[in-house]
Amino acid sequence: MRLAQYLALTGRCSRRAASRLIRNGRVSLGDRLAKHTDSIELIETPTGTQASLSVCVDGEPLPPIADKAYWIFNKAVGTDCRLLAEDTTSLIHLLPRQPRLYPVGRLDKDSRGLLLLTNDGELTQRLMHPSFAHHKRYHVRLDRPFDDDFVVKMAAGVSYKDVTTQPCQVTRLGQDSFEIVLTQGLNRQIRRMSKTLGHKVIDLKRVAIESLTLGDLPEGEMRPLTQAELDELWCDLA
């Protein structure tokens, strides 16, 4: 098994993030720094399946391969998705100690709504890699009413800084609110698109990732995915 795949299976991070850790010299294999080309053998131990050689990230030994866990969380405004123990607003303080979960993608601190939490590196890779172009649905409220031209321009793609966003679905919900479905994950994308067109976002809520929706989950609460939800999500990504 490739080393990056093993890191993902332990729940430490996605395969993409694992490759960065290896590239940055933060992973050791046995008594040396790991390389991208390294492979490992798996062995069964009383505590679970793990590598035959010691694998460490930043000097900390990795745990055995974890059982997969999938949770949905309704993030509130003010919660920071970065898992920083020293930050009192960090999501890490709301998560269980076990299993060790990570958000698939982020919502900025001023946004709210659906976060998928998991230790499944393969699912994270499928959802995060741009080539899979998965759908994320948001409800957005602006500082003032907008005209139909705003909807047309948002849907066609907006240029700001050195990027032009991909075409997307935009549906008016009210005089100052709309729904947008994105397949990109650019930093603060909706806020920057709206600002370029002369408006300020005052509320942004993610309501769905592919077939996965918040339903009636209260804000600030989390729950495990049902098997039906997980099966449908994998079907969406097939």
CB atoms within 10 A of CB 179: 15
* CA distances, 197 to each of 156, 188, 192 (Å): 12, 15, 9
Catalytic residues, by residue number, are: 108
Token pair of 160 as six digits: 């700001």
Q: Is 4 helix (H, G, I), strand (E, B) or coil?
A: helix
- Work out the burial of residue 196: count CB atoms within 10 Å of its CB; fewer than 13 is exposed, 13-18 middle, 19 or more buried: middle
Q: Is 64 helix (H, G, I), strand (E, B) or coil?
A: coil
Radius of gyration of the chain (CA): 20
